[in-house]
Amino acid sequence: MKGVLFNVIEDVVTEALSADAWDDVVDSSGVTGAYTSLGNYPDGDLTRIVIATAAAAGLSEDATVRLSGRAGFKHLMRRAPHLLEGLDDWKAVLTSLDSIIHPEVLKIYPDADVPRFEIVADGDALIVTYTSKRDLCVLADGLMLGCGDSFGVELSVEHLTCTNKGGASCTMRVAEDG
């Protein structure tokens, strides 16, 4: 897993709790905590960080991952604001993940293992099929919510199927609330 994701999670924990809380998470999780954005790190480090953060925040692991994605979206975009240039709403961002955003990510991080997204319109909503060896659809859920937040739109994400619950794929319906 790319270090930039660990950097974003550190930003989220520090912002939501404190810099000391991040140090405590690193200590209790047993990871090094020294992540460079271009580095590759074991997926297990993320798991250990999530478990320690959930304990520190009093949240479930899924809620911690979702919140990390939601709050982390702005931190990711702050690192690469050019990725949103010309994309004027949340739908444009989501429908551009595989055609614009991930190819640009791969230019910066050529060895990144980015997830795949298949997007289909469903009325005013989008049906998003997420594919990744990491099965982090809850993180994708949070990132989509954070995308809506960045455009001032409250989104809802309904998980229709999930590989973590025996489904053949992770499919979510993303729509504006209200």
Helix (H) or strand (E) holding 23: helix 19-29
CA neighbor of 38 nearest in space, from 12, 7, 13, 10: 7
User: Are both 94 and 114 inside the same structural domain?
Assistant: yes
User: Are both 96 and 127 inside the same structural domain?
Assistant: yes
First to last CA, the chain: 36
Binned at pLDDT 50, 70 and 90, residue 164 comes out as: confident
Q: How many CB atoms lie within 10 A of CB 82?
A: 8
User: Are both 97 and 153 inside the same structural domain?
Assistant: yes
User: Are both 59 and 140 inside the same structural domain?
Assistant: no
Q: Give CA–CA dist 8/20, Å, rounded.
A: 16
User: Are both 95 and 152 inside the same structural domain?
Assistant: yes
User: Are both 66 and 34 inside the same structural domain?
Assistant: yes
Residue 25: the pLDDT is 96
Backbone angles phi, psi at 36, to 5 degrees: -95, 150
User: Are both 69 and 88 inside the same structural domain?
Assistant: no
Residue 12: the pLDDT is 95
Residue 9: the pLDDT is 94
User: Are both 90 and 138 inside the same structural domain?
Assistant: yes
Each residue's pLDDT tens digit, 68-93:
999 999 999 998 888 889 999 999 99
User: Are both 110 and 65 inside the same structural domain?
Assistant: no
Q: Count structural domains, the chain.
A: 2
Each residue's pLDDT tens digit, 114-161:
899 999 999 999 999 999 988 899 999 999 999 999 999 999 999 999
Enter the pTM of the model.
Answer: 0.92
Average pLDDT, the chain: 93
Those residues with Cβ within 8 angstroms of residue 11's Cβ, 6 or more apart along the chain or in another chain: 72, 75
Backbone angles phi, psi at 40, to 5 degrees: -110, 135
Structural domain ending residue among the three candidates 51, 74, 97: 74
Range of the domain at 104: 83-176
Binned at pLDDT 50, 70 and 90, residue 105 comes out as: confident
Residue 104: the pLDDT is 82
User: Are both 47 and 100 inside the same structural domain?
Assistant: no
